[in-house]
Amino acid sequence: MNYRNTVEFEVYGDYALFTDPVMHLGGEKCTLQIPTYEALKGVLSSVYWKPTLIWVIDAVRVMNPIQTEVKGVRPIKYAGGNDLSFYTYLKNCRYQVRAHFIWNENRPELAVDQNENKHHNIACRMIARGGRRDVFLGTRECQAYVEPCVFGEGPGAYDSTPELAFGLMYHGMTYADEAYSPETQGHMTTRYWHPVMRKGVIEFLPPVDCPIQRVVREMEVKPFGEEHRNFTGLREFSDAECTQEEGAT
């Protein structure tokens, strides 16, 4: 389903490392086979982020064959000494992503910034420019690139694969400022689901519909606003500027 504020882009890089947070405890990380909802949301947040809105990832299309590579790395040991771990990465990664945004109803102080044209136009321009901040696939060492695309165009490695299930998998994390139900208000919540790829495309469940959700800990919502001197975006563009066509002066 396409929304009025839908964005479509391609993200690609030499390596990716999509992990379940539970797997961080042992020191040796092993990637999941497909990108998580949270990782793709992080890509979009690097391209364009505002506390006024929440990015919703609708679907991802896996363009290249799923293949892994093991690397020896030396993680930081703050107690001193050296250590060696083996990380399993995805290699030669390329994905098409379709997403849209909704308003963050937990931010009533930013209601004046809810201008759909403004945010959609800026997001499209930032995708065309490769993003505002560094883009990476899962972890910082997996640098990536972003460019516009038409979702579904071009040949994909799994276009002829009818269905491929991946079992129980990490979906993402819900933070207190994006809580969507009374159960998640004031908490950090982790989500799990059962993804299925059909002809190379994975349709993501919205966070509220994930079948398994667990509260991790309590969390306070950080306030934003001019009175806190930590959000000046309300004066970025006038309504007239937001409706100008791309390239107009």
Q: Work out whether strand 212-218 and strand 201-203 pair parallel, antiparallel, or are unpaired.
A: unpaired
* Distance between first and last Cα of the chain: 34
User: Distance between CA 231 and CA 238 in Å, rounded?
Assistant: 16
Higher pLDDT, 197 or 74: 197
Domain boundaries defined on the chain = 7-169
Domain 7-169 has CATH 3.90.199.10: no
User: Distance between CA 158 and CA 63 in Å, rounded?
Assistant: 7
pLDDT at 72: 84
pLDDT at residue 249 tops 50: no
pLDDT at residue 23 tops 50: yes
pLDDT band at 248; cut points 50, 70, 90? very low
User: Distance between CA 92 and CA 94 in Å, rounded?
Assistant: 7
Mean pLDDT value of segment 147-152 = 96
pLDDT at residue 54 tops 90: yes
Contact 133, 145 (CB under 8 A): no
For residue 51, give the nearest of 103, 125, 127 by alpha carbon: 103
Higher pLDDT, 218 or 154: 154
User: Distance between CA 42 and CA 104 in Å, rounded?
Assistant: 16
pLDDT at 9: 97
| Beta bridge mates, 54 | 102
pLDDT band at 225; cut points 50, 70, 90? low
Residues with Cβ within 8 Å of residue 42, at least 6 apart in sequence: 136
- Token readout for 96 is 């098409």
Whole-number Cα distances in Å, 76 to 23, 30, 89, 139, 182: 17, 18, 19, 15, 39
